[in-house]
Amino acid sequence: MFKKHAFWQIKKSNILLGFLIFIIMCSFFQKKENHTSSANYILVFTHTKNIIKELKNSINCVDTLNVSNLKKLKTSYFTARAIYKEIENCIEYQSPFDVKYFINGPLVKKAELEYGSRTFDPHGFQVIEELLFSGDTIDFAKLKNEYLFLNQAFEAYIKKIERSFIGDSQLLESLQFECIRLMSLSLNGYDATFTKTNIDETISALKGSQLFLNNIKKNYPTNLYPNRTHQKTILAINAAITYCRLHKDYDRFDRLFFITRHLNPIYKLISELHQNKLFPHTPVNYAVDLKKVNPFNLNSFNDNYFSVTVNDTLNKEPQVELGKLLFFDPVLSGNNQRACASCHKPELGFTDGLQKALEFETKNNLNRNTPTLLNVFYQKNFFHDGRSRQLVEQINEVLHNKQEMNTTIEEIILKLNQSEEYKALFKNAFIGTADSSISYFGVLKSIHEYERTLVSKNTKFDKYLEGDYTQLNTNEINGYNVFSGKALCGSCHFFPLFNGLVPPIYNDTEYEVIGVPKEKNSLEIDGDEGRKIISKNRIHQFAFKTPTIRNIDLTPPYMHNGIYKTLEEVIDFYNKGGGNGIGINISHQTLPFDSLQLTKQEIRDIKAFMLSLTDTTNLTRKPKRLPHFKDEKLNHRIIGGEY
């Protein structure tokens, strides 16, 4: 009996052991299916270790510096950068905050409202590049500290990848983002600003993409894996690398050709790989819809990412129609004479054509120039100083502002309820909700829905990107290449939105200190402190949100204070080096203050490119009439307002 019981215990324990082994094996295979392969894990881990090795070699060179070591130091920098670029997609995907603040952020101090008054100094590769390559003398103490700091950042990243994995689906997403990063940042001088090794670094990034793709392929049986698409992708990447090797001159590089003939096909092929059932898309509300194959078509942007009403799809069309009426109706103002369209005229690119907008009672002007509403939806901050985080918040502030619309919630609701037409329109637009009776939220939401339709996406430039290569002439193509290359415009006005929302995640708005003078020929900076009024941070003094240059031909005068009437004046200001370049002493200017040394032809080409960004197709139609009111005085309202 004892032996039988003992045997049963042994048998029972074996069954339990077998069951545990089965569970563990299932777990193992599930991890292998859902997470990055060990090959990709080893790739990232090994590359990061090699970067650390190069950084430590550099630290040793700094400690024992002589002429030969300086050459070795620069060589080691390029080696570390090339290794980093091969795994940039993965590091940016896993640790975007670390990259921005500690590894490869831009050469400006940073401050965010979320962190209070704290200011972050720039750190990482770009700081080291500046110290090594920007002048005849080198601050070796600072250089060593930057190497130590960067080394610590990568040591921390090693610990992160040791305890986390990225699945193959996420890796494909990171490669899609890397394509966008190359199009909109790497080739536009966002980093490597002193060495101008952007083309070599593009080669490194493409090589890294190949390594990741080939390692992904190893995870799946040949009969299940999309081998043909994979092979096409590898061949397309090889072709792109060959093009870069043959065209290494940074200033002369044909970015537009490379984007349309090389990077876009690569992106499409990676998107096709991602469409395979082996690689389900992650349920993340990204700005770019990764299921679509054209990353620079505005149709590929995910509207829900930019909206406060993420999942609201009910009755959008009647809300748009209602919002359009409200936008052009001066009944929303305190004196029934001013509408949203008073300052945002469709025929002027939804601006007003004035240096600074008129105040409510027309006695004075406001402090700033009126920005366009075309593509206004594709932002994360609104107003020149970025004080609003949502479009509905911006609309609300304008309605309440005593210098603009000078009204109240109570006034708006009281007046609108005097119109049977408006009552019916609200009921239809918000049927089944509390806002079917006129509400202030309904007012804001409707105007918001109308303004989000003001999407300008059929420019000559857009049509060229979509494959109609007859749309742009040689001057316009050269203009884009100078704009994104030698002139460095594309490092602030990011392709393809051409505003300051940073690709490829589009969650970070840039504010620049460019030193705009008080008057056109003045050597005194404009007194408007810009973003500092909101952030209270010294580094934001005179900083303003980077606006879009789409439809710039329709929206003069230019700058936040409207002092420049022509594009030639604007380009000349930048060509001279901004405020510092024309003689204004401003220590924290974020714009390079040495001359761009643009030729007259390059200036003409840049202007030609910017003019190719003009399109208001089907966007300028005004309502034919406004809703009727019981109060006869209100029925004499002028569509778009009196002033």
pLDDT single digits (tens) 371-416: 999 999 999 999 999 999 999 999 999 999 999 999 999 999 999 9
Q: Span 494-505, mean pLDDT?
A: 96
Q: How confident is the model at residue 574 (pLDDT cuts 50, 70, 90)?
A: very high
Beta bridge mates, 564: 558
Element (H, E) at 421: helix 420-429
Residue 399's nearest CA partner among 339, 484, 320, 485 is 339
What type of residue sits at position 537? N
Q: How far apart (Å, rounded) are the C-alpha atoms in residues 528 and 575? A: 23
Q: How distant, in Å, are the alpha carbons of 17, 95, 97, 109, 174 from that of 505?
A: 47, 12, 12, 21, 11
Q: How many CB atoms lie within 10 A of CB 224?
A: 10
Q: How far apart (Å, rounded) are the C-alpha atoms in residues 247 and 259? A: 14
What's the CATH number of domain 460-611, 3.40.640.10, 2.20.25.90, 3.20.20.140, 1.10.760.10? 1.10.760.10
Q: Span 217-244, mean pLDDT?
A: 97
Q: Is the dihedral of CA 316, 411, 362, 397 positive or negative?
A: negative
Strands (E), 427-540: 511-512
pLDDT higher at 293 or 33: 293
Q: How many CB atoms lie within 10 A of CB 307?
A: 18
Q: Span 333-342, mean pLDDT?
A: 96
pTM given for the model: 0.90
Lookup result for tokens 């006129």: 438
Q: How far apart (Å, rounded) are the C-alpha atoms in residues 248 and 242? A: 10
Superfamily, domain 316-363+372-454: Cytochrome c-like domain (1.10.760.10)
Cis status of the peptide bond prior to 504, with omega within 30 of 0: yes
Residue 321 reports pLDDT greater than 90: yes
Q: How far apart (Å, rounded) are the C-alpha atoms in residues 513 and 632? A: 51
Q: How confident is the model at residue 164 (pLDDT cuts 50, 70, 90)?
A: confident
Lookup: tokens for 52:
């650390």
CA dihedral of residues 520, 615, 627, 339 (deg, nearest 10) = -10
Residue 267's nearest CA partner among 250, 246, 247, 291 is 291
Cis status of the peptide bond prior to 557, with omega within 30 of 0: yes
Q: How confident is the model at residue 28 (pLDDT cuts 50, 70, 90)?
A: very low
Residue 117 reports pLDDT greater than 80: no
H-state helical runs in 87-117: 88-94, 96-98
Q: How confident is the model at residue 20 (pLDDT cuts 50, 70, 90)?
A: very low
Beta bridge mates, 288: 301
Q: How many CB atoms lie within 10 A of CB 360?
A: 20
Residue 416's nearest CA partner among 231, 534, 424, 42 is 424
Q: How far apart (Å, rounded) are the C-alpha atoms in residues 172 and 281? A: 9
Q: How confident is the model at residue 593 (pLDDT cuts 50, 70, 90)?
A: confident
Residue 36 reports pLDDT greater than 60: no
The SS3 call for residue 523 is coil
CA dihedral of residues 161, 162, 168, 172 (deg, nearest 10) = 10
Contacts of residue 563, Cβ cutoff 8 Å, sequence gap at least 6: 355, 516, 517, 518, 519, 520, 526, 557
Contacts of residue 506, Cβ cutoff 8 Å, sequence gap at least 6: 287, 288, 305, 378, 380
Lookup: tokens for 457:
């996406």
Residue 485's nearest CA partner among 334, 598, 336 is 598
DSSP per position, 126-175: HHHHHHHHSSS---HHHHHHHHHHHHHHHHHHHHHHHS----HHHHHHHH
Which range of 15-19, 159-163, 250-254 scores highest in mean pLDDT? It is 250-254
pLDDT higher at 513 or 137: 513
Residue 371's nearest CA partner among 360, 385, 383 is 383
Average pLDDT, whole number, for the chain?
Answer: 91
pLDDT single digits (tens) 606-634: 999 999 999 999 999 999 999 999 999 99
Q: How distant, in Å, are the alpha carbons of 173, 264, 267 from that of 344?
A: 38, 35, 37
Which of 263-294 are b and which e, b meaning 16 or more Cβ less than 10 Å from the residue's Cβ? bbbbbbbbbbbbbbebbeeeeeebbbbbeebb
> Between helices 264-275 and 168-184, what is the axis angle to 10°?
160
Q: How confident is the model at residue 166 (pLDDT cuts 50, 70, 90)?
A: confident
The SS3 call for residue 207 is helix
Element (H, E) at 545: strand 544-545
Beta bridge mates, 110: 120
Residue 27 reports pLDDT greater than 90: no
pLDDT higher at 295 or 399: 399
Q: How many CB atoms lie within 10 A of CB 45?
A: 16
Residue 520 reports pLDDT greater than 60: yes
Residue 491 reports pLDDT greater than 60: yes
Residue 371 contacts residue 384 (beta carbons within 8 Å): yes
The SS3 call for residue 552 is helix
pLDDT single digits (tens) 54-66: 999 999 999 887 7
What is residue 309's predicted lDDT score, i.e. its pLDDT? 62
